[in-house]
């Protein structure tokens, strides 16, 4: 049986992926910050629900040990945990800036470091990082999120070469808008009432962003793309997920910077 360890499995893309892989006979280590709240995933076949907070290194190590104890081996690591900070950069506190990178970038790096000895012992493995179309193009008022996902792209692309020497594959998934808790409880709104010059801009952009999610794709669609990446046996690095992501990427390739940025600002 093949096994995948997933971070951020409590909701959205992570949760849909646990179900998708478990239904196809995979063993899944479904990790989350608060496993005591989980009532459904722990009843699925071959699913181990256990604690992992990407901001706490010891929980990463513990989850990997428990996953190996239960399934004997982990074949694929899915770095999915993440969230977006939204708002004016000047208004962001240092803690907000750091936490965006602690979770979206350093959490991924720490999880990869923790699983590497296991993958090297096995002489194989796969790392799939959930990036975003926001790791290829940028949107207004998402400076911190875009920076963290562009960092994931650069980090993963370089790591690809390094780990290829160890028979370990690295892949990234780039979803467009997906209907999850991402725009709800996971969205961190940056606000600072002392800086009110941006207020209209902030409200207009936030409104537009939320409206664009009315046509969002499902997390199950992303789970299918992740399944393809995990099983297609081909040497492919990037997987876009969603029509909107494909549209934006095509447009980005066919336009000048100015044309593309003009499109995004209107």
Nearest Cα to Cα of residue 21 among 65, 57, 71: 71
Considering only residues 3, 5, 10, 209, which one is a binding residue for ligand NAP as defined by CB under 6 A? 10
Least Å from the CB of residue 59 to ligand NAP? 8
Point out the catalytic residue in the list 10, 145, 156, 217: 145
From residue 36 to residue 65, the character string flagging contacts with ligand NAP as x (rule: CB under 6 A) and all else as - is -----------------xxx----------
| Residue closest to ligand NAP when measured from CB atoms | 12
Largest CA-CA distance found in the chain, in angstroms, rounded? 57
Please say if 145 is a catalytic residue: yes
Least Å from the CB of residue 165 to ligand NAP? 27
Q: Report helix angle 257-265 to 243-254, nearest 10.
A: 140
Q: Indicate whether 246 belongs to the interface with ligand NAP (CB under 6 A).
A: no
Q: Indicate whether 186 belongs to the interface with ligand NAP (CB under 6 A).
A: yes
Please say if 198 is a catalytic residue: no
Q: Indicate whether 139 belongs to the interface with ligand NAP (CB under 6 A).
A: no
51 strand-pairing partners: 32
Q: Indicate whether 11 belongs to the interface with ligand NAP (CB under 6 A).
A: yes
Please say if 37 is a catalytic residue: no
Considering only residues 4, 14, 22, 139, which one is a binding residue for ligand NAP as defined by CB under 6 A? 14
Nearer to ligand NAP, 124 or 157 (CB): 157
Q: Indicate whether 32 belongs to the interface with ligand NAP (CB under 6 A).
A: yes
Point out the catalytic residue in the list 22, 83, 149, 169: 149
Nearest Cα to Cα of residue 28 among 78, 62, 65: 78
Give the number of residues written for the chain: 266
φ and ψ at residue 18, rounded to 5 degrees? -55, -50
Q: Indicate whether 7 belongs to the interface with ligand NAP (CB under 6 A).
A: yes
230 strand-pairing partners: none
Residue numbers 76-135 binding ligand NAP by CB under 6 A: 80-83, 103, 130, 132
Positions annotated as catalytic residues are: 131, 145, 149
Contact positions toward ligand NAP, by CB under 6 A?
A: 7-8, 10-14, 32-34, 53-55, 80-83, 103, 130, 132, 175, 177-178, 180-182, 186, 219
């Amino acid at each position: 049986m093949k096994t995948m360890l997933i971070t951020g499995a409590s909701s959205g893309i992570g949760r849909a992926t646990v179900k998708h892989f478990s239904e196809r006979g995979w063993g899944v280590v479904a990790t989350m910050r608060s496993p005591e709240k989980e009532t459904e995933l722990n009843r699925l076949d071959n699913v181990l629900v256990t604690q992992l907070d990407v901001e706490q290194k010891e929980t990463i190590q513990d989850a990997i040990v428990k996953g190996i104890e239960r399934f004997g081996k982990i074949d694929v690591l899915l770095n999915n945990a993440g969230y977006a900070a939204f708002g004016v950069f000047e208004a962001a506190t240092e803690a907000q800036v750091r936490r965006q990178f602690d979770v979206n970038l350093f959490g991924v790096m720490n999880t990869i470091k923790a699983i590497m000895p296991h993958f090297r012992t096995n002489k194989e493995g796969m790392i799939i990082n959930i990036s975003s179309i926001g790791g290829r193009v940028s949107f207004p008022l998402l400076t911190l999120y875009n920076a963290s996902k562009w960092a994931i792209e650069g980090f993963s692309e370089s790591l690809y070469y390094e780990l290829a020497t160890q028979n370990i594959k690295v892949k990234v998934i780039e979803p467009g808008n997906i209907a999850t808790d991402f725009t709800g409880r996971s969205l961190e709104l940056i606000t600072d009432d002392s800086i009110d010059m941006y207020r209209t801009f902030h409200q207009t952009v936030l409104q537009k962003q939320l409206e664009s999610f009315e046509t969002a794709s499902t997390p199950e669609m992303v789970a299918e793309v992740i399944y393809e990446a995990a099983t297609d046996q081909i040497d492919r690095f990037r997987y876009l997920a969603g029509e909107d992501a494909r549209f934006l990427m095509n447009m980005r390739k066919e336009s000048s910077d100015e044309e593309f940025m003009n499109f995004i600002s209107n």
